[in-house]
Structure 1
Amino acid sequence: MPALLADIQQLPLFVAAGLLLNITPGVDMALVLRSSAAQGFRAGAAAALGISAGCSVHIATAALGIGALLAQSPAALALLQWAGAAYLVWLGIGLLRARAGAATGAPPPDPARALRRLFAQGFLTNALNPKVALFFLAFVPQFIVPAPAHPGWAFVLLGSVFVVNSTVVSLAIAGLGAVLHRRLAARPGWQRLGPWLNRGVGALFVALGLKLALGAPGR
């Protein structure tokens, strides 16, 4: 471990910068907040863990060098970007069409299945987003010393620190959403507000998916 830490520079700055990035509003925060506000903390936590798992895929592929190869292949990058854009649009349309009961706090018919679905949604929103892969390729190496003895493991260590911090932030956001869920679910107005929460997040996902598609290589 000491030898591995010798390959890393400015670790406190890395942690601080990562936390600032984690609290920046985006798809991940919207998914976690919407899930916990609609169905409680466990739902938000499932989405948060899925997001972290998706990030871990990009860290592993980048450490193995696959991410760098992907970044140098316009065709492969475009394919992944189109897949990610299509998934975000599909997810957004699903939220726009969601039944009112899905956002009012009503218990799902199969809680375990609902949690697995939220985990999968969080996972896919990150695993299919090439911008996440490119972010790690651009951000993490800045905190690895020149000519490191263990470049791959240093990348994995920094990526793991980022994912752990991201998970903590996401779980905190899930907790905030759960508080809103407990305080608002019993109020009659929440029954009317819930569907609008779905529509707002759904519209955001559709817009981000279209933005991702329009930014695909070759456009």
Structure 2
Amino acid sequence: MFEIQNYVGFIGAIIVFQLIPGAGTIAILNATARNGISAGLGAVFGTLLGDFVFMVAALAGLAAVMQQNPFLFECLQYFGALYLCWLGLGLIRAKITPEKAHQEPKKSAWIYLKQAFFVSITNPKVMLFFVAFFPLFLKADASHVTLIAMMVHVSMMSLIYQTLLVLLGNALALRLKAFPFARTLATKLAGFALIAFGVKLAVNNR
């Protein structure tokens, strides 16, 4: 279908890829927990935008350029790692009182969109994943239409999964608001998780 080789396997691989939690997932859940569905959806579109940029870059051959310039690749990785650690430290240091747990300061979805986009775009390994992923399901005579179809599949399935993640995360966040300690614990864990992703990215960069 769509000239995609092993179409069923392609769909299955996308599903598995979505189920693997990453920094983008944490950014989406954090935004949802803080400011509800609109903020969560803002983070979703930020993540999708970052992934889309990397898909286009991968298909345009920029990954090959980055592989030929290791210093540029390493700088981007370290920058992304530092940014994730900075976000995680902010969550760990955040003080949540019972009053604050019931009334989180409102922020626009645009802010969370930019944060999630930045988290996504500072992880160049996402682009390398697409470089390795797409060729597995491409025929030798594949056209530009096939490449576009593959990008649309990844984007639409990501949108569906991440939107469900926002809805479920919002329902959980509403329950946690009645328990400040649980809300604090969840926020701290999210912060440590972001730092862990950052450290892992930096270590793998050696």
How high is the TM-score relative to the length of structure 2? 0.90
CA distance in 1, matches of 2:166, 2:142: 38
Alignment-derived partner of residue 127 in structure 1: 121
RMSD (Å) for aligned C-alpha atoms: 2.0
Residues 10 and 105 of structure 1: is their aligned pair in 2 closer, same or farther, counting only changes over 3 Å?
Answer: farther
How many angstroms apart in 2 are the aligned matches of 1:13 and 1:105?
A: 45
**Alignment-derived partner of residue 53 in structure 1:** 49
- Distance (Å, rounded) in 1 between the aligned partners of 2:15 and 2:101: 31
Q: Give 1:64 shift.
A: 1.6
Which runs of 5 or more structure 2 residues have no equivalent in the other structure? none
**Aligned partner of 1:132: which letter?**
V
Residue 16 of structure 1 is aligned with which of 12, 15, 35?
12
Q: CA deviation at 1:175?
A: 0.3
Distance, in Å, in 2 between the alignment partners of 1:105 and 1:56 is 36
Deviates more, 1:120-129 or 1:37-46: 37-46
Identity %: 30
Which residue of the partner structure matches residue 21 of structure 2? 25
User: Is the CA contact (8 Å cut-off) linking 1:35 and 1:44 kept in structure 2?
Assistant: yes
Letter in 2 for 1:72: Q
Aligned with residue 104 of structure 1, among 101, 106, 109: 101
Runs of 4+ in structure 1 off by over 3 angstroms are: none
Taking the aligned partners of 1:81 and 1:193, their CA distance within structure 2 comes to: 33
Q: How does 1:41-190 map to 2 (within 5 A)?
A: 41-100=37-96, 104-109=101-106, 111-112=107-108, 115-150=109-144, 153-185=145-177, 187=178, 190=179
- Determine the C-alpha separation between the residues in 2 that align with 1:213 and 1:68: 21
Shift of 1:105: 4.7
Unaligned runs of 5+ in 1: none
Q: Which residue among 167, 187, 191 is the counterpart of 1:198?
A: 187
Query: What is the number of residues matched between the two proteins?
Result: 205
Offset at residue 144 of structure 1 (A)? 0.7
Letter in 2 for 1:205: L
CA distance in 1, matches of 2:83, 2:152: 26
TM-score by length of 1: 0.85
AA at the equivalent of 2:92: L
Q: CA deviation at 1:145?
A: 0.4
Q: Against the structure 1 CA distance between its residues 105 and 77, is the aligned structure 2 distance closer, same or farther, given a 3 Å change threshold?
A: farther
